[in-house]
Amino acid sequence: MTAGAAMETWVLVLSLWGAVSGQNITAPIGKPLVLKCKGAPRKPPQQLEWKLNTGRTEAWKVLSPQGGSWESVAHVLPNGSLLLPTIDIQDEGTFRCQATSRSGKDIKTNYQVQVYQTPKKPKIVDSASKLTVGVPNKVMEEERSKHNPENGPSVGTCVSEGGYPEGTLSWHLDGKPLIPDGKGVSVKEEASRYPETGLFRLQSELLVMPDQGGLHVNFSCSFNPGLPRRRAQHSAPIWLSIGEPVEKIQLAVDPEGGAVVPGGTVTLTCESSVQPTPEIHWIKDGMLLSLPPSPVLLLSEVGPEDQGIYSCVVTHPTHGPQESHPVTISFIETGEGRPTADSVEGSGLGTLPLVLGILGGLTTAALLIGIIMWQRKRRQGEERKSPENQEEEERAELNQSQEPETTESSAGGP
- Taking alpha carbons only, the member of 54, 87, 93 closest to residue 73 is 87
Predicted confidence at residue 131, as pLDDT, reads: 80
Predicted confidence at residue 172, as pLDDT, reads: 95
Predicted confidence at residue 269, as pLDDT, reads: 93
Cα–Cα distance for residue pair 61/217, rounded to 1 Å: 56
Are the C-beta atoms of 206 and 131 separated by less than 8 Å? no
What are all long-range contacts of 232-235, with beta carbons under 8 Å and residues at least 24 apart? 233/118, 233/119, 233/121, 233/122, 233/160, 234/121, 234/122, 235/121, 235/122, 235/123, 235/124, 235/158
Cα–Cα distance for residue pair 188/207, rounded to 1 Å: 8
Predicted confidence at residue 367, as pLDDT, reads: 75
Q: What is the signed CA dihedral for 348, 352, 358, 360, rounded to 10 degrees?
A: -170
The length of the chain, given as a count of residues: 414
Predicted confidence at residue 147, as pLDDT, reads: 38
Predicted confidence at residue 400, as pLDDT, reads: 56
| CA quadruple 54, 56, 57, 61: dihedral sign | negative
Predicted confidence at residue 316, as pLDDT, reads: 72
List of residues 6+ apart from 59 with CB closer than 8 A: 53
Burial letters for 142-161: b for 16+ Cβ neighbours within 10 Å, e otherwise? beebeeeeebbbbbbbbbbb
Cα–Cα distance for residue pair 131/211, rounded to 1 Å: 10
Phi, psi of 80 (to 5 degrees): 95, -10
Predicted confidence at residue 353, as pLDDT, reads: 54
Q: End-to-end distance of the chain based on CA atoms, in angstroms?
A: 216
Which domains can be identified in the chain, with CATH numbers? Answer: 17-116 (2.60.40.10), 123-243 (2.60.40.10), 249-331 (2.60.40.10)
Cα–Cα distance for residue pair 109/23, rounded to 1 Å: 8
Cα–Cα distance for residue pair 406/245, rounded to 1 Å: 127
Predicted confidence at residue 35, as pLDDT, reads: 94
Cis peptide, bond prior to residue 153, ω within 30 of zero: no
Are the C-beta atoms of 322 and 314 separated by less than 8 Å? yes
Cα–Cα distance for residue pair 219/130, rounded to 1 Å: 12
Predicted confidence at residue 21, as pLDDT, reads: 53
Residue-by-residue pLDDT tens, the chain, 414 positions:
444 444 333 332 333 333 445 789 999 999 999 999 988 888 877 888 999 999 998 889 998 776 677 888 898 888 889 999 999 999 999 999 998 888 888 899 999 999 999 999 999 998 888 887 766 554 433 334 433 433 344 789 999 999 999 999 999 999 999 998 877 888 999 999 999 999 999 999 998 877 776 678 899 999 999 887 889 999 999 998 887 666 678 889 999 888 999 989 999 999 887 666 788 999 999 899 999 999 999 999 999 999 999 999 888 766 667 888 899 999 886 654 444 444 333 444 445 556 566 777 777 777 777 777 777 777 766 555 555 555 555 565 555 555 444 444 443 443
Predicted confidence at residue 9, as pLDDT, reads: 35
Phi, psi of 400 (to 5 degrees): -65, -35
